[in-house]
Amino acid sequence: MTGLPSIHEPAGTPEDQPDLVARIRAVDGVTDVYSPRSAIARIPGLIAAAAGADGDRVAEVAVTVRDGMPLVAARIATASHDNTPAAARRVADALLANTPGDAQISIQIARIH
Amino acid sequence: MPDRILVQRAVDGDTSAFGEIVRRHSSLVRAYVYRIVGSVADTDDVVQDAFVTAWKQLPTLRDPSAVRSWLMRIAGREALALATRNSREDALDDAVLPPTSHAQPERAAIQNDRLAALSRALDRLKEDQRRCWLLREVAELSYAEIAEEMNMTDSTVRGLLARARASIAIEMEGWR
Amino acid sequence: MNDDDALECGRSIDELSSYVQAGRTPRDRHIESCPDCLNVIEALERVGQLSRDLVADDAEHLPRPPESWFEGILSVIHSELRAGRSFPIHHPDPRVTITVTEGAVRSLVRSSADELDGIYLGRTQIVGDAETPGAPVRIDLTASVAWGRSIPDLTSALRDLVYRVLAEHTELNVTAVNVAVEELHGTEGEE
């Protein structure tokens, strides 16, 4: 399986996860992906990302291990002209298709615009 | 948008509504703080901190339309704290320092003679009198609120205010 | 000059200042008929108005802070964002958890409501156990309506809009949307 970094590390480096992020971004209705770590640390980046600014290299999808199981967590924004629950479910499906069978998927929609 | 709507939105997390509150009220709050702390640099710092405090405490504001006087109270508290710290530091210095000047060198000269006279009269008030005056005339606090802010009794506050106004009137009318 | 400035009639300026401060009640017969006392009272009242003028003058002439000063405030505030609760969204696979934040929902409701002309949305409160899927919630809104416009029409438009937005972007079980119009704007003295 491609695109998935070692799941025994805490949040992977950006270089490990471009595929996963790209796949989430490619899902219809997703406008951006944010780091699910501390919301406080990420807010400036969240705002920059929402404004379309590039170049923030903090990992946008965190892959961690919780209770021995891999957890893939993504924090995203969706578009106001699309149906948000449907868009979020598509993101989840994309992640399910690209992660090991015992992985937990957690998606939080932090902005709709 | 009315103040009340801006406050309610800001309580819900609308940062641009809060930004509008800052823009709407900052010049009056700054003017008030400036008369307490005496420098633009200190004013900038105090008022910035005051607005951040205000954001955090906004959910506790009972009457959203009274946000201006509420902001004044927060800013006044922080300004007083700074001024108190500064004067304590001054007192500890061995060097003989002139009394803290409350002249306003950093603002453009007051054009109107009467206002200039009032400004000078204010400068000459005793510290406590000037602060009571500012809290009452500018921040529009009630006597009870001033008493609480300055840690005094209601009647002490009234006395200081009466004296402050009397001194100002005497000086401005030239009854000396 | 001593602290107790006395007029010829024996009253002191301090005393007169307290009298004015108390609103000139209870009425003092001497003060209200003594020319010296009345002179002082007039002067004291003039000082009151001048004080407000001085503060306004200060506000106009103090150097305006740079834009970075305003941005400084907002950037600190952004790290204190009020994200609120997390509302669940269903996915058939049990490995998946999807939520949308209360902050995101409120922000969307506000920006959608801003499109309506003649009504400003104030508070957006989602009342109920919104973190439990399917639990009934009601939406309590406050608003300000432009003077002269139809309150029923505008509140109805706002209500419909909020129902639509929540249906399209959440899975909240909204049982009611209440709009409390707390004030009118656009009258004299309002913005």
- With beta carbons under 8 A apart, name residues in chain C contacting A110: 83, 101, 103-104
DSSP string, C90-152: --SSTTEEEEEEHHHHHHHHHHHHTTSSSEEEEEEEEES-TTSTT-EEEEEEEEEEETTS-HH
Q: What is the mean pLDDT of residues B98-110?
A: 56
Whole-number percent of chain A with pLDDT over 70: 45
Asked if pLDDT for residue B17 goes beyond 90, the answer is yes
**Closest chain B residue to C106, measured at CA:** B12
- With beta carbons under 8 A apart, name residues in chain C contacting A85: 89-90, 98, 169-171
Question: What is the count of structural domains for chain A?
Answer: 1
Locate all alpha helices (DSSP H) within chain B, ordered by sequence.
3-11, 15-37, 40-57, 67-92, 113-124, 127-137, 143-150, 154-173
- Of C94, C85, C138, C75, the residue nearest A110 (C-alpha): C85
Asked if pLDDT for residue C20 goes beyond 90, the answer is no
Q: Cis omega before residue C88 (within 30°)? A: no
Task: Report pLDDT for A11.
Answer: 45
Question: C134 at the B interface (CB within 8 A)?
Answer: no
Could you tell me if B33 and B75 are in contact, meaning their C-beta atoms sit under 8 angstroms apart? yes
Asked if pLDDT for residue C174 goes beyond 60, the answer is yes
Q: Tell me if A108 is assigned to some domain.
A: yes
Q: Tell me if A5 is assigned to some domain.
A: no
Asked if pLDDT for residue A52 goes beyond 50, the answer is no
Shortest CA gap A13–chain C (Å): 23
Q: What is the mean pLDDT of chain C?
A: 90
Asked if pLDDT for residue C109 goes beyond 50, the answer is yes
- With beta carbons under 8 A apart, name residues in chain C contacting B172: 43, 47
Kindly determine whether residue B1 and residue C48, on different chains, have CB atoms separated by under 8 Å. Answer: no
What is residue A37's DSSP assignment?
S
Amino acid at B162: A
Task: Report pLDDT for B149.
Answer: 79
Kindly determine whether residue C17 and residue B118, on different chains, have CB atoms separated by under 8 Å. Answer: no
Pair (C27, C111) in one structural domain? no
Question: C144 at the B interface (CB within 8 A)?
Answer: yes
Task: Report pLDDT for B148.
Answer: 84
Kindly determine whether residue B115 and residue C57, on different chains, have CB atoms separated by under 8 Å. Answer: yes
Shortest CA gap B173–chain C (Å): 7
Nearest to A84 among C81, C97, C100 (CB): C100
Task: Report pLDDT for C86.
Answer: 95
Question: C83 at the A interface (CB within 8 A)?
Answer: yes
Task: Report pLDDT for A46.
Answer: 40
> How far is C163 from C149, CA to CA, in rounded Å?
22
Domain hosting residue A101, numbered range: 14-112
Question: What are the b/e assignments for A31-49, b being 16+ CB within 10 Å?
Answer: bbbbbbbebeebbebbbeb
Confidence of residue B91 (pLDDT cuts 50, 70, 90): low
Pair (C91, C181) in one structural domain? yes
Domain CATH for A69? 3.30.70.1350
**Closest chain C residue to B12, measured at CA:** C123
Confidence of residue B96 (pLDDT cuts 50, 70, 90): very low
Whole-number percent of chain B with pLDDT over 90: 40
pLDDT in tens, A62-113: 666 666 677 888 888 888 888 999 988 988 888 888 777 888 889 888 889 8
Amino acid at C110: R
pLDDT in tens, B36-83: 888 899 999 999 999 999 999 999 999 998 898 899 989 988 988 888
> How far is B170 from B136, CA to CA, in rounded Å?
19
Pair (C88, C177) in one structural domain? yes
Pair (C100, C181) in one structural domain? yes
Pair (C52, C88) in one structural domain? no
> How far is C110 from A111, CA to CA, in rounded Å?
13
- With beta carbons under 8 A apart, name residues in chain C contacting A84: 89, 100, 168-170
Q: What is the mean pLDDT of residues C29-40?
A: 92
| Residue finishing a domain among C61, C93, C117 | C61
Kindly determine whether residue C185 and residue B2, on different chains, have CB atoms separated by under 8 Å. Answer: yes
Asked if pLDDT for residue C80 goes beyond 60, the answer is yes
DSSP string, C148-180: TS-HHHHHHHHHHHHHHHHHHH---EEEEEEEE
Q: Tell me if A39 is assigned to some domain.
A: yes
Which run of H or of E encompasses A92? helix A84-97
Q: Tell me if A26 is assigned to some domain.
A: yes
- With beta carbons under 8 A apart, name residues in chain B contacting C190: 2
Q: Which residue has the higher pLDDT, C190 or C80?
A: C80
Q: What is the mean pLDDT of chain B?
A: 85
The complex's ipTM works out to 0.79
- With beta carbons under 8 A apart, name residues in chain C contacting B40: 62-63
Confidence of residue B107 (pLDDT cuts 50, 70, 90): low
Kindly determine whether residue C21 and residue B18, on different chains, have CB atoms separated by under 8 Å. Answer: no
**Closest chain C residue to A41, measured at CA:** C79
pLDDT in tens, B111-122: 678 888 888 898
Domain hosting residue C39, numbered range: 13-61
Nearest to C72 among B48, B106, B158 (CB): B48
Amino acid at C57: D
Q: Tell me if C75 is assigned to some domain.
A: no
Q: Tell me if C130 is assigned to some domain.
A: yes
Nearest to B173 among C43, C48, C52 (CB): C43
Pair (C99, C153) in one structural domain? yes
Here the tokens at position C162 are 């909020």
Task: Report pLDDT for A101.
Answer: 81
Residues found in chain A: 113
Question: What is the count of structural domains for chain C?
Answer: 2
Whether this model's pTM surpasses 0.95? no
Nearest to C21 among B114, B119, B162 (CB): B162
Q: What is the mean pLDDT of residues C78-86?
A: 78
Task: Report pLDDT for C176.
Answer: 96
Specify which of B36-50, B161-175, C29-43, C125-139 reaches the highest per-range mean pLDDT: C125-139
Q: What is the mean pLDDT of chain A?
A: 64
Domains and CATH numbers, chain B: 1-104 (1.10.1740.10), 108-176 (1.10.10.10)
Task: Report pLDDT for B87.
Answer: 72
Chains in contact with A, where contact requires at least 3 CB pairs less than 8 Å apart: C
Kindly determine whether residue C79 and residue A112, on different chains, have CB atoms separated by under 8 Å. Answer: no
Nearest to C78 among A43, A83, A109 (CB): A43
Q: What is the mean pLDDT of residues C66-79?
A: 88
Kindly determine whether residue C110 and residue B14, on different chains, have CB atoms separated by under 8 Å. Answer: yes
Pair (C119, C166) in one structural domain? yes
